[in-house]
Structure 1
Amino acid sequence: MDARFLGISELVEAPSVAVVVDVMRAYTVAAWAFAQGAEKIVLAESLDEALALKAGHPDWVALKDGPSAPGFDAVNSPGLLRSLDLGGRTVVQKTTAGTVGALAVKEASLVLCAGFVVAEATARLLRARACDRVTFVVTGEDGRADEDLACAQYIARRAAGEGTDPADFLRRAGESRAAFELTSGVRRGVHADDVELCLELDRFPFAMVATLEDSLMVLRPCAAPSPTP
C-alpha cells in the first residue's frame, strides 16, 4: 500500500482514500459516542454552525473542545463522554483539528476517521476495500503531532498486512505534546482518564466512515470485516 502522511495544510487536492487521524481527542471521543449509542455524528465547520444545528434540532447533542459553553451539551473528552447515554441520538462535533481534517477531504471517495481505539478495524476496512493508495491526514500541530502520526503509521502497517508491535507507537503517543498538555492542566475540558482512554488500542470493533449527507459531513460506525485468515 502506498501511504502518504500529510498535515491539513498540505492537502492540495482531494485524495481518493483518506484516513483522518485525531487521537487526542476528537476521534477517540467519536468512537466513545458510538459506543454510548449515538446513531451518527455531524462534523461541524464552526462553532456557529454547531450551535445553529443544535438550535434547529434541540434533541441533538452538541460538543466542542475546551470548557463548557452555553448552547453546548458536552465537551470533547472521552472520560466525560463515557458516562452519557446517547442511545439513538445525533451528536454535533466541532473540534480544533479533527473535524477540520475530515472536512478538508470531504470530496474523497472514502473518508475514515480514526484513533488508536479503532485502529485495527480501520486497517481491516482498508484491506477489505483493497485500498492501494491512502492519504493519512495527521490533524494535530499542522501535521507534526506525534500521537497522530504514530497512530497513522501503525494503521498503515496493519493495513499492509504487516505484523506490527504497537508498543513503540503507543509510547510515542503517550510522550507527545498533546498527552503532556492533557495531563498537566494546560487544556481545559479534560478528564483525568483522557490520555489513558485515547491509548486503548482496539477498544472498539468498528471503523468510522464519514460521508456527505445533504451537504453535511456525517460520521457513522462501520462494522469491521472479519480478520483475513
Structure 2
Amino acid sequence: MESQFLGIDEIAETPAVAVVVDVMRAFTVAAWAFGRGATRIVLAESQAEVLALKARNPGWVAIKDGPPAPGFDAVNSPGLLRSLDLAGRTVVQKTTAGTVGALAVKEASLVLCASFVVAEATARLLRARACDDVTFVVTGEGGQADEDLACAQYIARRATGAGTGAAEFLRRADKSRAADELRQGVREGVHPDDVALCVELDRFPFAMVAAPEDSLMVLRPSAVPSPEETGHRRAAAPHVRLPGV
C-alpha cells in the first residue's frame, strides 16, 4: 500500500481512497456517537447548515465545536457525549477541522473518518478492500498536528498487516499541542477526560465510512472483517511520503 499524508489545503486532486483523521476531537466524538446508538452522522459545512437541518428535522442531534450555543444539543467532546442516549438518532456535526477535511475529499471512491478509537478497524477495512493508494488527510494545524499525523501513520502501518506497536504513536498524541490545549482549558466545551478518551486505542470495533446521501455527506459505522480474515495477508512495508518530503 502506498500512503501519503496531506493537510487539507494540500489536497490538489481527488484521491482514490481517503482516510480523514481528527483525533482531538471530531472523529473520536463521531465514534462515541455511534457507540451511544446513533445511526448516522451528517457532516455539515457550517453551523448555519447545522441549524437549518435541525430546523427541518427537530429530532436530529446538533453538535459543534466550542461552548454550548442556542440550537445545538451537544458540543464536540467525547467526555460530555458519552453520557447521551443517541439510540436511533441522526447526528449533525460541524467542527473546525475534521468535518472540513471529510468534505474536501467527498468525491473520493472511499472516504474513511478515523481516530485512535477506531484505528485497527480502519486498518482492517483498508486491507479488506485491497487499497493500493491511500491519502491520509491530517486535518489539524494545517496538516502538522502530531496527534493526527501519529494516528495516520499508525493506521497506515497496521493496514499493511505489520505488527506495529501503538505505544509511541499514542505518546505523541498525548504530548501534542492539541492535548495540552485541552488539558489547560484553552479550548472551550471540554471535559477533563477528553484527552484520555482520545488516546484510547481501539475502543470501538467498527470503521466509519462517509458517502454522499441525498446531497449530504453522511458518516456511518461499518463492520469490518475479523482479524483472522485479514491478519494473514501481510503486505510489503508501506511507501510513505511525509508532508514536505
What TM-score do the two structures reach when normalised by structure 2? 0.93
Q: C-alpha displacement at 1:163, in angstroms?
A: 0.8
Q: Distance in 2 between matches of 1:54 and 1:203?
A: 29
Q: Distance in 1 between matches of 2:213 and 2:54?
A: 17
Aligned to 1:157: 157
Q: Secondary structure at the match of 1:156?
A: helix
Q: C-alpha displacement at 1:96, in angstroms?
A: 0.1
Q: C-alpha displacement at 1:224, in angstroms?
A: 1.6
Aligned to 2:65: 65
Q: Distance in 2 between matches of 1:89 and 1:3?
A: 35
Aligned to 1:55: 55
Aligned to 1:214: 214
Letter in 2 for 1:166: A
Q: C-alpha displacement at 1:37, in angstroms?
A: 0.2
Percent pairwise identity: 80
Q: Distance in 1 between matches of 2:131 and 2:159?
A: 9
Q: C-alpha displacement at 1:85, in angstroms?
A: 0.1
Q: Which aligned pairs between 1:1-229 and structure 2 lie closer than 5 A?
A: 1-227=1-227, 228=230, 229=232
**Residue-by-residue CA offset, 1:93-118 (whole Å, 9 max, x unaligned):** 00000000000000000000000000
Q: Secondary structure at the match of 1:179?
A: helix
| Structure 1 runs (4+) greater than 3 angstroms displaced | none
Q: Distance in 1 between matches of 2:40 and 2:137?
A: 21
Q: C-alpha displacement at 1:127, in angstroms?
A: 0.1
Structure 1 alignment gaps of length 5 or more: none
Q: Distance in 2 between matches of 1:225 and 1:207?
A: 10
Q: C-alpha displacement at 1:225, in angstroms?
A: 1.0
Q: C-alpha displacement at 1:226, in angstroms?
A: 1.1
Paired residues, what number?
229
Q: Distance in 2 between matches of 1:211 and 1:153?
A: 23
Structure 2 alignment gaps of length 5 or more: 233-245
**Residue-by-residue CA offset, 1:92-145 (whole Å, 9 max, x unaligned):** 000000000000000000000000000000000000000010000000001000
Q: Distance in 2 between matches of 1:225 and 1:46?
A: 35
